[in-house]
Structure formats: structure tokens, C-alpha cells
């Protein structure tokens, strides 16, 4: 016999289901008056430091049909590359930027949308800088465990070329699935759940 | 947020997720998963600062009735119809430590099994006094509680005759973005749990039983509400004592 480790098992995930918007974006889903506003709907104020950008796109299933019942959350560093989190030990992040946003996909077009700022660079575990990126989490009906991916920026070619996470993608043809294309200050990032263009998802 | 513990902030990466315990992506018995599950292998990424950090939600975001679904949508002086219950428990991590300051958001059908949603097609009636969403934040011991009515089971288009057991959806925000979790709570003694294709996406019976809340007679409030106890476990964190990191990071 050995001493028991005493660890617990993580609660198993279950799909967010078709009505995730009721729980996480009730005002968007038409349930007014319970919360003043939906959490994560507004990321940026006048005081937030950094370049304003828009991120928009769709989540597409294996037939190329956009999901109209999905929910996305993003998590990113501030303009100086600091996270607004107690676990951030490198310095204090911009107090006017939480770094976290939440968006429901539209019931007609399937588009999600975030108004945010361009994040700064943050270090990989070995101290090398990663390219500017945003962590993305996707849940929906039919997704049994939330999917994690990253958005990188199409106009950061030099930084992307030396990014240690992108470098780990063996099949180089898949790297563009993580790169949002710039059109002025708007970045378009479609997420493909399946198929030739299947987005690289992470086991983080 | 006010600092809820004297422990210094934790910066270790999370325990790797046991993907044999969670449902796999592709579960043909749950038909919608077939076209929505990635088919290529996930890329393994031991947590960087982008994954081990996460936003903090202060108690200031909470309204007085956010943890009372019986009243938070009801007209003044009225209340939602149904079996009055209290759901309470703790959020722990895999090391059995309480997760303080965790944001819990929950949503559910009304007592008749009907959601307040434009795409809902079940013929059960809406309750004008029930919205179906609520939220709370765990205290320093990882404890939470909210009041609601017991949701009804409902049919859904999957197989010809599939029904969801009574359940409450939970979204949980711990301390790191990699701890993010959505799950569902079921009710002790419900025979429909074992007939549900969504429950059956979970391969391990013990993992299913961990999602079944026990009737908590001790905490039942006489002449008011029965209690159900539901503990939630999030991923644990490695200690950083021996992490190999560059000086100064
Ligand atoms: Fe449901």
C-alpha cells in the first residue's frame, strides 16, 4: 500500500447547450432587468491605453455553416504586455483594461465581435517573447468541452515567425488558421471546427 | 477584488486535463457533436502566462437578487412557480483546496421544463415570473449558495424520444483562463439521468455521479425550501518551487 495522494477529479464538462446565452449574456438573449449589462460586453473605456481594434468572425461547423448559438470569451494582455490578474507577477496591468471579453454569436449572421485593444507581447516559459496573441475559448451546443485556441495578428509577420507556440505546429499549412487578417483596425478571425481549414485547438 | 487569502498568488501551470474523464468531442449519440467536434489532434501546450492567469470578478458586480432566481425576474411581491430549493456547495480544486472568488453563473428551464428563449419550441408554458439565470461568487472558503425553483425535465430533438433530466447549467470561472469550465448539475434520485444522451457523453459512471447533487436534508429550511449540495472541482495547480524558469521571470 502507498499513501493516498488525496487529489480530487475535475468535474466533468457538459455541453453549454442551446441556451448558453440565457446564462452568460442574458441581455443579449432578451432577458432584461436581471443584470444591468452583460459581463464582458465592454472591454475598453476612454482611459484604456493602446490601439483600438475590432475582432470579428464566425464559428463554422463541418459543413461550413456558421454557429448561431455559440459563445466566445477572450483573454489578453494589455498594451504593455501585462495581464490584469493576481497571478501576473511582472508588474501592474492597465487598471482600465480587464483583458477579458465575452461575445455571443449573432442569431442571424453568426458573427461575434469584440472591441478591444491590440495586446503587447508576453514571455513564453523560457523567457523568449511570444508574438501578440489573444486566448480564445469557444462553447456551444454540440461542443462537449470548451475549445481553446489563440488568435495571432496577420500584420505581425516578424513576431509570428519567431513565436515559440506557432513554431510547435508540425503541419505548417495549419499555422494560418490562427492568424487573423487585418483590414485597417478590424481583424477577421473565422474559427473552423472541422475540415481542411480546421483551426488548431489547444490542450492547455 | 479584496485579497481573500494570505497565500501568495499562485503562478504554477495547471494539472493536465484528464481527457478520458471528460466527454470526448465526438459523441454520435449526441447528434450535434458530429459536425461540431474537431477531428484533428489538439496541440498540447503546458501553461504559459497567457493560460495560468485569468480575470478577477469582484463582489461589486453582483446585484442583491443575482443569487435568487425565485425573485430576480419576478414582479414585485410575486415569485416564480415551482418547488423551492437552495443549491449550495463549494468550489474546490483538484488538490482539494477551496477556490475563493470563483464566479459561478447558472441557467435553467422553469418548473415546467421551458426556457425563456426565442428558439425554444417546447409547448410547456412560460412562467412570467421566471427568467432563468443567476450568478454568485464564492467566499473565502470556496462556498456558494443560491435560491431557485427545481427545473422540469424537457424533451429535445435528438433521438425520436429524448428527454433531458432536470438539470442546472453551471459556468465556472476560477483563477486561470485554463480553469474555465461549463458543466451541468443533476438531482439525486432522478431515473432520467441514465437515459440522457448528453449525460452519456461522459464515459465514466463515477464522473457522472460527481455531477449529481445530493438532497441535503440537514440544510433544508422547514416550511420554505429543500437543499441540494453540489460541489464543483476545478483543475489543480502545480507548485512552482521547482519550475525551471529564467532568472527574473
Ligand atoms: Fe438545459
CATH code of B143's domain: 2.60.130.10
Confidence of residue B248 (pLDDT cuts 50, 70, 90): very low
What distance in angstroms lies between residue B190's CA and the mean position of ligand 1's atoms?
15
Q: Within a domain: residue B22?
A: no
Calculate mean pLDDT across residues B144-159. Answer: 98
Domain that holds residue B176: 48-231
Is residue B13 in some structural domain? no
Residue B12 has pLDDT above 80, yes or no: yes
DSSP lists the bridge partners of residue B28 as none
Domain presence at residue A76: yes
Going by the DSSP 8-state scheme, the letter that residue B31 receives in this structure is G
Count the domains in chain B. 1
Domain assignment of residue A156, yes or no = yes
Is B101 inside any structural domain?
yes
Q: Is residue B7 part of a domain?
A: no
d(CA A73, CA B45): 19
For chain A, say whether B157 makes contact (Cβ under 8 Å).
no
Question: What pLDDT is stored for residue B7 in this prediction?
Answer: 58
Q: What is the pLDDT of residues A106-133, one digit of tens each?
A: 999 999 999 999 999 999 999 999 999 9
Q: Which three-class secondary structure state does DSSP give residue A124?
A: coil
A171: in domain: yes
Residue A168 lies in a domain: yes
Of B30, B144, B154, B228, which residue is the catalytic one? B154
> Is residue B33 one of the residues assigned to a domain?
no
Whether B26 is in a domain gets the answer no
Domain that holds residue A101: 20-192
Residue A2 in domain: no
Q: Where are the beta strands (DSSP E) in chain B?
A: 43-44, 84-93, 103-107, 133-137, 143-149, 154-156, 162-164, 167-173, 181-187, 212-215, 226-229, 232-234
| pLDDT number for residue B11 | 83
Among A163, A203, A156, CA closest to A180: A156
With an 8 Å Cβ cutoff, is A79 touching chain B? Answer: no
Q: What is the ipTM of this complex?
A: 0.96
Report the chain B residue with the minimal C-alpha distance to residue A33. B73
- Residue B94 lies inside a defined structural domain of this protein: yes
For residue A68, pLDDT over 50 is answered with yes
Q: State how many domains chain A has.
A: 1
Using DSSP bridges, classify how beta strands B84-93 and B143-149 pair: parallel, antiparallel or unpaired: antiparallel
For residue B30, tell me if it sits in a domain: no
Which pLDDT value is given to residue A18? 97
- Domain harbouring A34, CATH code: 2.60.130.10
Is residue A49 included in any domain, yes or no? yes
Asked if the Cβ–Cβ distance from B211 to A26 is below 8 Å, we say no
Amino acid at each position: 500500500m502507498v499513501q493516498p495522494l488525496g487529489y480530487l477529479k475535475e468535474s466533468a464538462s457538459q455541453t453549454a447547450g442551446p441556451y448558453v446565452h440565457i446564462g452568460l449574456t442574458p441581455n443579449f438573449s432578451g432577458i432584461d432587468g436581471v443584470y444591468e449589462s452583460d459581463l464582458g460586453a465592454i472591454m475598453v473605456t476612454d482611459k484604456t491605453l493602446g490601439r483600438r481594434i475590432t475582432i470579428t468572425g464566425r464559428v463554422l461547423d463541418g459543413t461550413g455553416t456558421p454557429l448561431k448559438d455559440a459563445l466566445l470569451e477572450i483573454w489578453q494582455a494589455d498594451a504593455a504586455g501585462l495581464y490584469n490578474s493576481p497571478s501576473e507577477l511582472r508588474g501592474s496591468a492597465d487598471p482600465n483594461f480587464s483583458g477579458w471579453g465575452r461575445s455571443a454569436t449573432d442569431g442571424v449572421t453568426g458573427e461575434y465581435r469584440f472591441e478591444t485593444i491590440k495586446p503587447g507581447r508576453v514571455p513564453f516559459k523560457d523567457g523568449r517573447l511570444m508574438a501578440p496573441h489573444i486566448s480564445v475559448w469557444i462553447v456551444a451546443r454540440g461542443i462537449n468541452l470548451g475549445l481553446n485556441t489563440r488568435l495571432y495578428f496577420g500584420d505581425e509577420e516578424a513576431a509570428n515567425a519567431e513565436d515559440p507556440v506557432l513554431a510547435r505546429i508540425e503541419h505548417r499549412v495549419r499555422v494560418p488558421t490562427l492568424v487573423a487578417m487585418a483590414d485597417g483596425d478590424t481583424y477577421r478571425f473565422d474559427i473552423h471546427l472541422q475540415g481542411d481549414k480546421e483551426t488548431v485547438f489547444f490542450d492547455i | 477584488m479584496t485579497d481573500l487569502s494570505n497565500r501568495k498568488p499562485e503562478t504554477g501551470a495547471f494539472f493536465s486535463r484528464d481527457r478520458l474523464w471528460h466527454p470526448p468531442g465526438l459523441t454520435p449519440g449526441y447528434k450535434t457533436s458530429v459536425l461540431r467536434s474537431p477531428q484533428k489532434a489538439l496541440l498540447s501546450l503546458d501553461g504559459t502566462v497567457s493560460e495560468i492567469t485569468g480575470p478577477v470578478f469582484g463582489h461589486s458586480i453582483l446585484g442583491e437578487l443575482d443569487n435568487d432566481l425565485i425573485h430576480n425576474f419576478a414582479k414585485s411581491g410575486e415569485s416564480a412557480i415551482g418547488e423551492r430549493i437552495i443549491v449550495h456547495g463549494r468550489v474546490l480544486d483538484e488538490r482539494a483546496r477551496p477556490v475563493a472568488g470563483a464566479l459561478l453563473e447558472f441557467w435553467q428551464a422553469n418548473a415546467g421544463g421551458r426556457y425563456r428563449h426565442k428558439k425554444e419550441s417546447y409547448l410547456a408554458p412560460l412562467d412570467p415570473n421566471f427568467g432563468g439565470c443567476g450568478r454568485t461568487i464564492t467566499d473565502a472558503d470556496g462556498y456558494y449558495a443560491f435560491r431557485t425553483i427545481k427545473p422540469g425535465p424537457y424533451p429535445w430533438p435528438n433521438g425520436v424520444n429524448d428527454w433531458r433530466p432536470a438539470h442546472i447549467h453551471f459556468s465556472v470561472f476560477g483563477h486561470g483562463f485554463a480553469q474555465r469550465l461549463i458543466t451541468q448539475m443533476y438531482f439525486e434520485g432522478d431515473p432520467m439521468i441514465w437515459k440522457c444522451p448528453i449525460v452519456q457523453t461522459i464515459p465514466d459512471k463515477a464522473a457522472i455521479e460527481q455531477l449529481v447533487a445530493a438532497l441535503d436534508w440537514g440544510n433544508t429550511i422547514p416550511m420554505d425550501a429543500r437543499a441540494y449540495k453540489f460541489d464543483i472541482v476545478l483543475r489543480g495547480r502545480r507548485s512552482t518551487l521547482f519550475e525551471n524558469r529564467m532568472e527574473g521571470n
